[in-house]
């Protein structure tokens, strides 16, 4: 059996030295599977680096190429076993969806490459036989993004960002960052839900933004602008979004028979932790099952309230959480980053009541200078719940 060996992933241009290894992994030609981790940090010992893959974790016909650690939002991180075929299918479907015409595709890497979104920039580049341009180490800045864009040579530029990076580019005091964004055939934005006003603002500026939904278990984004990639099927089962197709992982490292990967005939399937609505070939993700709020005996998806508050004057960003409440079981809390003067709680309640129902309206307003984040750019709902619980 093949071992799982750590792969230290550096920041900056040095990461390009990994491209030959990743190309061989993508082709299924390595004698081992790769466990990416940030250079300078040890790989997660729970994923048993250095040990061989178990029988159900590998397949000589389609070897496991990479084991990607999940973000660990619900506890100990898990390792998604990504076959070489799944990664190739993801790269091919992405290329076909984003830039199907002639011309050379080139990516700009603006995310940490040990996370699945950044790693996919490298893998897609390896498949295309091109070299991405990499932003320098350190905090993301509009200046660095403009310089990286200027250094590209491809005719079809692609990049992957998180919402906060897109905000910084649009908020830059000069026009260069937006001019740079306009050069891209597609700007993927994911990892966290992208507010509708941000999307509208970017598109009004001529930026070809594509929202993405996916996870380590699906080789990253597999639903673009609400539409699954070719070969990916979406359905709701028992209140959860289930994704199936060639991009799905074969399971978790050291967790055979995990319920997230139901066995059965047909393509591999992944049972997500998200609620969603699926219809007419489109997927509308409402939020994590664990984030559902039970208030007054009724269940509420935070995403519905966040959607209702999108575009509210005085709100730049909003995340909705539930915290224990003696009267309601859980009270709905709107955590808001203001744009100018924030709205009052009464204004927030009226806005939600008008879009949904009065019982869904927040009973607490938490105004913050910025949202706490985890991983590559997801709101830290656990931290937000703790902050809200400290309030009235």
The pLDDT, as a whole number, for residue 54 is 93
Q: pLDDT tens digits for 283-316?
A: 998 878 877 888 888 888 888 898 889 888 899 8
Q: What is the pLDDT of residue 75?
A: 55
Fold equal for 80-284 and 292-390 = no
10 Å Cβ neighbour count for 23? 17
pLDDT tens digits for range 199-231: 889 999 999 999 999 999 999 999 999 999 999
Distances from the Cα of 211 to the Cα of 162, 175, 208, 284, 353, angstroms: 10, 23, 10, 12, 28
Judged by average pLDDT, the poorest of 6-10, 101-105, 258-262 is 101-105
The fold of the 80-284 domain, in CATH, is Rossmann fold (3.40.50)
Dist. CA 233–CA 230, nearest whole Å: 8
Q: Does position 81 have pLDDT exceeding 80, yes or no?
A: yes
Helix axes 302-309, 345-355, angle to 10 degrees: 110
Q: What is the mean pLDDT of residues 147-167?
A: 93
pLDDT at 103: 63
How many Å separate Cα 365 from the centre of its chain?
A: 27
* C-alpha torsion 99→105→111→112, nearest 10: 130
Is 198 a residue whose pLDDT tops 90?
Answer: no
Domain layout of the chain by residue ranges: 80-284, 292-390
Give the position of tokens 């790269």: 91
CATH of domain 292-390: 3.30.300.30
Q: What is the pLDDT of residue 147?
A: 97
């Amino acid at each position: 059996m093949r071992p799982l060996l750590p792969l230290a992933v550096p920041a900056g241009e040095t990461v390009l030295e990994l491209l030959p290894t990743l190309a061989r992994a993508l082709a299924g030609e390595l004698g081992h599977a790769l466990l990416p981790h940030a250079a300078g940090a040890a790989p997660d010992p729970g994923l048993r680096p250095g040990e061989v893959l178990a029988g159900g974790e590998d397949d000589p016909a389609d070897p496991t190429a990479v084991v990607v650690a999940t973000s660990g939002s619900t506890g100990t991180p898990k390792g998604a076993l990504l076959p070489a075929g799944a990664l190739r299918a993801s790269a091919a479907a992405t290329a076909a969806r984003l830039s199907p015409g002639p011309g050379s595709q080139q990516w700009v890497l603006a995310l940490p490459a040990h996370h699945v979104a950044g790693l996919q920039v490298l893998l897609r580049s390896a498949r295309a036989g091109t070299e991405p341009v990499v932003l320098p180490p350190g905090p993301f800045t509009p200046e660095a993004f403009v310089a990286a864009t200027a250094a590209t040579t491809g005719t079809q530029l692609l990049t992957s960002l998180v919402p906060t990076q897109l905000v910084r580019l649009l908020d830059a005091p000069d026009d260069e960052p937006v001019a740079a964004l306009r050069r891209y055939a597609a700007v993927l934005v994911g990892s966290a839900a992208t507010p509708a006003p941000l999307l509208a603002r970017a598109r009004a500026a001529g930026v070809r933004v594509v929202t993405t939904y996916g996870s380590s278990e699906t080789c990253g984004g597999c639903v673009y602008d609400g539409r699954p990639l070719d070969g990916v099927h979406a359905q709701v089962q028992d209140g959860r979004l289930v994704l199936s197709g060639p991009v799905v992982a074969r399971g978790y490292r050291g967790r055979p028979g995990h319920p997230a990967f139901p066995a059965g005939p047909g393509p591999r399937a992944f049972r997500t932790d998200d609620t969603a609505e699926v219809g007419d070939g489109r997927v509308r993700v409402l939020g994590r099952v664990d984030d559902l709020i039970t208030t007054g005996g009724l269940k509420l998806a935070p995403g519905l309230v966040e959607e209702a508050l999108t575009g509210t004057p005085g709100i730049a960003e909003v995340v909705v959480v539930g915290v224990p409440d003696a009267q309601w079981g859980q009270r709905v809390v709107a955590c808001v980053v203001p744009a100018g003067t924030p709205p009052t709680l009464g204004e927030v309640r009226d806005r939600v009541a008008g879009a949904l129902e009065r019982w869904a309206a927040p009973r607490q307003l938490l105004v913050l200078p910025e949202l706490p984040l985890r991983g590559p750019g997801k709101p830290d709902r656990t931290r937000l719940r703790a902050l809200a619980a400290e309030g009235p």
